[in-house]
Amino acid sequence: MVFKSKNFCIVLSSPSGAGKTSISRRLLKKDKSIALSISCTTRPRRRGEKNKNDYIFITDEQFDKGIKKNEYLEFAKVFGYRYGTLKQTVINIFNKKKDALFDIDWQGYQQLKQSNLEVVGIFVLPPSKKELVKRLKTRARDTKKEMKKRMNLVQNEISHFPEYDYVVINKDLEKCVEQITCIIESERLKKSRLIDLTKFVNRFRI
Ligand code: 5GP
């Protein structure tokens, strides 16, 4: 007998440069019972990004409208732009009987935890400061001033790790994805999430 598990939210947060995007991509490829929650953002589209695939790119006015209509499950300002998760996006994922994967920051995570949804928070850390600086440098043509600003933001983000249920260090991508897969599998096996468990156990009564 295989039990179905109640669907839940998996939040991945990390400072930029910790490899969260690569992790999400691998997870989605590996586990077809997970779907990515695609956020809305007011930040401009980067090269290679597709609307509705990476983000739903909207204007400030559209974002404001959504807030007024209470359409967001959570929203926050990150690096000067606004990001948010639409309630409808998560409803659609749960309707497909999938778990929802969120690539959002600590502010969004805090709001999700206050909602009535079941949330599992995973914080991804880079293996060392040296490696983090290296990754940040290869990511952009940053000036020294810009790098310092980013490092400060990274430190602020990292200070929120105690609020998460799990912390994973991304030294080796494959290993990290494997560990997160184990976390998700264990969370699915939680007694409270197993649908029809009591009904099944009751069959053993004599
Ligand atoms: P980027 O613009 O580099 O894709 O993302 C910048 C930051 O915004 C990342 O830390 C990412 O996790 C966060 N982010 C992306 N979407 C959302 C969202 O819907 N809500 C919140 N709170 N943060 C988000």
Query: Alpha-carbon Rg of the chain, whole angstroms?
Result: 19
Mean pLDDT over all residues of the chain?
93
pLDDT value for 1: 63
pTM score, whole prediction: 0.94
Residue 17 — pLDDT band, cuts 50, 70, 90?
Answer: confident
Report which protein residue has its CA nearest ligand 1's atom 12: 104
Closest CA to 98 of 32, 46, 154, 164: 32
Band (9; pLDDT cuts 50, 70, 90):
very high
Residues with CB under 6 A from ligand 1: 39, 43, 74, 76, 78-79, 83-85, 103-105, 107-108
Residues near 78 by Cβ (< 8 Å), separated by ≥ 6?
Answer: 105, 107
- Nearest C-alpha neighbor of 16 from the set 120, 142, 112: 142
Q: Is the pLDDT of residue 87 over 80?
A: yes
Q: Beta strands 81-86 and 40-41: pairing type?
A: antiparallel
For 9-37+99-202, CATH number? 3.40.50.300
pLDDT per position as a tens digit, 60-81:
999 999 999 999 999 999 988 9
Q: Calculate how far, in angstroms, residue 109's C-alpha sits from the geometric centre of ligand 1.
A: 11
Pocket test for ligand 1, best of 11, 104, 156, 157 (most atoms within 8 A of CB): 104
Residue written as token pair 């000067």? 80
Has residue 142 got a pLDDT over 70? Answer: no
Name the CA dihedral angle for 53, 4, 193, 189, rounded to a multiple of 10 degrees: -90
Q: What is the mean pLDDT of residues 52-63?
A: 97
Looking at residue 183, what is its pLDDT? 98
